[in-house]
Homo-oligomer: A and B are copies of this chain.
Amino acid sequence: MRAEILTIGDELLRGEIVDSNKAFLSDRLFGLDIETRFHVSVGDDPRDMEDAFRRAAGRSDVVLVSGGLGPTRDDLTIEVLARTFGRSLQVDQASLEGIKAFFARFGREMAPNNAKQANFPQGAEVLPNPIGTAPGCLLEESGTLFFCMPGVPRELHQMMDEQVLPRIAERLAGAEGRPVVRTALLRTFGIGESNLDAELADIAREGGVSLSFRTAFPDNYLRPVARGATASEAEAKLARVCDAIRERLGPLVYGTDAESMEEVVGKLLREQGKTLAVAESCTGGLVGERITAVPGSSDYFLGGVVAYADRMKAALLGVPESLLLKYGAVSEPVALAMAEGARERFGADLAVSTTGIAGPGGGSEAKPVGLVWVGFSGGDENAAQMFEFPLDRSRHRMATAQVALDWVRRALLGEERVALRYLRRSR
């Protein structure tokens, strides 16, 4: 089954928005083991749209169309699709009632424009949109399935998952001899893509799964794809390989699917009834920002100090001025004293600290840009560790924050502290 994605809208072609719908749709198709061959976008020009529809019909089995279902003059997807394949437009009464009801819920009357959203090409199947005014549709034309969906991401996501994917899966199930596919996503931090590949090649081979990699800085994601004659065969294969990967990589795997590092850390803190505080210098608030991005984080996060000026490290965290003078702010004793100071002042069970040179200025021969110390204080462990991230300012801070969060995670799991195998370069 060859798939193509066609997104429609002038705003895409003017570069006003980054089109994330295509990646979403392709990722979902990939989950069904369907290869997307083409991504195409055209503006609201009927000739370009017609041309794109014709071309897609000639080369693809499934075409996912997004955008152009709105009520305005520019929204022409349905009209042009019908014309392209010589179909008339017909009003779908159920959709028309649905649109009226949608407005009624918000105490408004339906504008006349919106009525056109209930028109569909003759022979199309209507796909309901419970969270918006634009229903979608499925039109089959000479063996090619055209699924038309709204461009609004929320509405698109729901329609794709609830209406489109099940219909595609049904067609696939009918295809003789086609294997069932199951996939997973494992998130790793602290190991590079080529090392992952080398470490896991035998597991993938022996388990009969394919393994793909994706860098999502500073993480690397693993996606095993298992195929089987039946669902249970594919699922069993996938589970075996995921277990083997986790055993091989140990704490390098921190989460699955959409689970972020800060969510994993928050979950462990809540389970263990422990509290956290942070002391940030070079990350400037990023560690706190990430922890508090998780709803309910006030249950375990007490707060932090952003001690950007050196004298604030002394005044607010109790770092002895003698240490600052003797070793400098970017040093093991200061990182340690910052973590201990935060733990004590907040009365927290655990604390982490960051102090480094994110650049581009501020480096020296002895302490080059990229150098960073991360400190930790919790239980019986009081320690600081040095890293060198020869990266730009933004990625230096991202890597540093991830190391700090990962240290908390590993401490809560009773694992060894993080030892980065790809970010730390020899000099």
Contacts and interface: CB of A to CB of B under 8 A. Distances in A.
A66 to B, nearest CB: 13
Nearest to A307: B303
A293 B394 contact: yes
A266 B304 CA distance: 23
B296 A285 contact: no
Interface string A357-399: 0011110000000000000000000000000000001100100
Given A18-B23, A40-B40, A291 B296 contact: no
A214 B287 CA distance: 31
A29 interface: yes
Nearest to A14: B30
Given A43-B37, A306-B278, A295 B15 contact: no
A27 B14 contact: yes
Contact of A285 (B20, B24, B292, B307): B292
Interface stretch (A83-91, A141-149, A174-182, A308-316): A308-316
A17 B223 CA distance: 14
**Copies in the assembly, this chain:** 2
A38 to B, nearest CB: 6
B285 A11 contact: no
Contacts of A282: 292
A283 interface: yes
Contacts of A20: 18
A42 B346 CA distance: 54
B345 A316 contact: yes
A306 B306 contact: yes
A212 interface: yes
A15 B22 contact: yes
B38 A48 contact: yes
Interface in A20-51: 20, 22-30, 35-43, 45, 48
Most chain B CB neighbours (cut-off 10 Å) among A26, A45, A303: A303
A306 B285 contact: yes
Interface in A197-219: 212, 214
Contact of A303 (B18, B26, B286, B306): B306
B214 A17 contact: yes
A161 to B, nearest CB: 14
A282 B23 CA distance: 32
Contact of A12 (B14, B28, B39, B394): B39
A257 interface: no
A361 to B, nearest CB: 6
Most chain B CB neighbours (cut-off 10 Å) among A19, A28, A361, A397: A19
A25 B36 contact: no
A13 interface: yes
A71 interface: no
Nearest to A276: B308
Contacts of A17: 23, 214
A38 B37 contact: no
A284 B291 contact: yes
B41 A38 contact: yes
A72 to B, nearest CB: 12
A427 to B, nearest CB: 10
A39 B37 CA distance: 14
19 contacts: A11-B214, A12-B22, A15-B25, A15-B30, A16-B23, A16-B27, A17-B23, A19-B22, A39-B42, A285-B286, A286-B289, A292-B308, A293-B397, A298-B308, A301-B309, A302-B309, A303-B307, A303-B308, A305-B316
Q: Which 3 A-B pairs have the closest CB atoms?
A: A284-B292, A285-B288, A15-B26
Given A14-B30, A19-B39, A285-B288, 13 more contacts: A12-B22, A14-B26, A15-B27, A18-B23, A37-B45, A278-B306, A286-B289, A288-B306, A292-B306, A292-B308, A301-B309, A302-B308, A305-B316
